[in-house]
Amino acid sequence: MGSGMMQQEGSTAMTDQLYTTHDISRLLQVDPSTVSKWIDRGILMAFRTPGGHRRVRSADLRTFLITHQMPVPEELGSGTVRLLVVDDERAVLDAIKRAFKPFAAQVELQTTTSGVEALLLVSEQKPHGMIIDLNMPDIDGLEVCRRIRQRKQMEGVRLITMTSVHTADVVEQSKQAGALACLAKPLDVQQVLELFRVPISLSAKR
């Protein structure tokens, strides 16, 4: 297929609130030193003000909580899981979007037909997770996983591969490349929701 194309569903823009380490410790009911350790380890993104004080954007705090399967306080707004789905077949992407439509309030989907573009998007968009087809023409799914796992700032992104040839060997290769799981195609949405701890019972009530 030709050049990759990207589509984003239901993206909303909002002004990020800034939090201090003490704000976060109060919000999450943890010790301030614990928050500092998360920042020092690079798993919670933060920046320093000209005065040397640490500040965390609300969007980065939400990403941290969702990625580490921690409850998102109401104060932080939406606990939506952002997923980037990569498959070179447009029909497959369309089918996946239809399957996720009932869970639009819980899952925000972004799609691309190119593995190369996916590597650019994961840095720009910082999704909570990626679902990657193993059989891609420009760069295969295993190589996409390996390259993302080489980036320390991307270590929180949960990687899932998918394939129409689902064997034990393929599952093992995916895990060695850094994937959390390897799922069979056609994709089972319920399996994905469980991997990201999306509250299925809650979404079913809405």
pLDDT tens for residues 32-60? Answer: 999 999 999 988 989 888 888 899 988 78
Q: Which of 1-10, 22-31, 166-175, 184-193 has the highest mean pLDDT?
A: 166-175
- CA R_g for the chain: 18
71 pLDDT above the threshold of 60:
yes
Residues 149 and 157: their CA atoms lie apart, in Å, by: 9
Q: Where are the domains of the chain?
A: 16-74, 79-194
- Confidence band of 77 (pLDDT split at 50, 70, 90): low
Residues 6-19, mean pLDDT to the nearest whole number:
50
Name the CATH topology of 79-194. Answer: Rossmann fold (3.40.50)
Q: In residues, how long is the chain? A: 206
Angle at 170 between CA 85 and CA 146, to 5 degrees: 60
15 pLDDT above the threshold of 50:
no
Report the CATH number of the 16-74 domain. 1.10.1660.10
Pairing of strands 158-163, 107-112: unpaired
Write the pLDDT tens digit of every residue in 24-38. 998 898 999 999 999
The predicted model scores a pTM of: 0.65
Which has the closest alpha carbon to 173: 194, 148, 143, 196?
143
Residues 74-84, mean pLDDT to the nearest whole number:
75
